[in-house]
Amino acid sequence: MAPAASKLRAEAGLGALPQRALAQYLRLLRLYPVLTKAATSGVLSALGNFLAQMMAKQRKKENCSQKLDVGGPLRYAIYGFFFTGPLSHFFYLFMERWIPSEAPCAGVKRLLLDRLLFAPAFLLLFLSTMNFLEGRGAAALSVQIRRSFWPALRTNWRVWTPVQFININYVPLQFRVLVANLVSLFWYVYLASLGK
């Protein structure tokens, strides 16, 4: 009887793990909102780049035991921690205050602000930061922008417009960065593929 009861307790403890993790995340989010969002963005950005590298290896039929570019996830972690998390946090706060949900056509205004101003600026910041972190000069950045900016922005508008409409209008403010980070996992896979 004791082994069965012990197994049952262990399974119950395992099932409670996600709830405890969520409770801890919510506590950190309440106590340290910017730092928590920055750390989450850094980890998920690095994971996105790691996944992009794994997918590229599989596409090329390369041996997955070959070394990965450790610098890629590190650059993405830096970008996520110092830019994505904090900037998104403050942008969503600004949007919430500048265009309150009670304002006429608030949902459309928020979406236009995000899509027409924030998205292009954020994409330029991404390309510039990655160029700098990779140790490339201004000429390489110019080529990268000419080659990648418009295709990436058009794809951004197609992918992110419905996501952001839901995120900025229906997701509670404290979870908007997390929702964007989860979608960014796949978005960073796409952006990483542009650099190759």
pLDDT of residue 128 exceeding 90: yes
pLDDT tens-digit map of 148-177: 999 999 999 999 999 999 999 999 999 999
For the chain, the domain total comes to 1
pLDDT, mean over the chain: 88
Q: Which domain holds residue 42?
A: 32-195
Helix/strand/coil for 148: helix
191 within a domain of the structure (yes/no): yes
3 within a domain of the structure (yes/no): no
171 within a domain of the structure (yes/no): yes
Instruction: Give me the mean pLDDT over the 52-56 stretch.
Output: 83
Percent of the chain at pLDDT > 70 equals 87
Q: How far is CA 85 from CA 2, 110, 152, 160, 179, in A?
A: 48, 19, 20, 17, 11
Residue 5 — very low, low, confident or very high, per pLDDT cuts 50/70/90? low
184 within a domain of the structure (yes/no): yes
12 within a domain of the structure (yes/no): no
Rounded Cα–Cα distance for residues 191 and 196 (Å): 9
62 within a domain of the structure (yes/no): yes
20 within a domain of the structure (yes/no): no
8 within a domain of the structure (yes/no): no
Rounded Cα–Cα distance for residues 170 and 176 (Å): 9
Percent of the chain at pLDDT > 90 equals 70
Query: What is the value of pTM for the model shown?
Result: 0.84
